[in-house]
Amino acid sequence: MKAENAAVIGASPKEERYSYKAIKALEEEGHNPIPVAMVHKEILGKKAYPSLSEIPDKIDTVTIYLGAKRQEPVIEEILKIKPKRAIFNPGAENPKAYKSLKDAGIEPVEACTLVMLKTKQY
CB half-sphere exposure, 39, CA atoms < 13 A: 4
Domains and CATH numbers, the chain: 5-118 (3.40.50.720)
CB atoms within 10 A of CB 54: 9
One pLDDT digit (tens) per residue for the chain, 122 residues: 578 999 999 999 999 999 999 999 999 999 999 999 989 999 999 999 999 999 999 999 999 999 999 999 999 999 999 999 999 999 999 999 999 999 999 999 999 999 999 999 99
Q: How far lies 118's CA from each of 26, 71, 122, in Å? A: 10, 26, 8
Helix axes 72-81, 95-103, angle to 10 degrees: 20
State the pLDDT at residue 2: 76
101-110, long-range: CB < 8 A, 24+ apart: 101/75, 104/79, 106/78, 106/79, 106/82, 109/85
pTM of the model: 0.96
Instruction: Say how far apart CA 87 and CA 100 lie, in whole Å.
Output: 14
Task: Check: CB of residue 10 under 8 Å from CB of residue 37.
Answer: yes
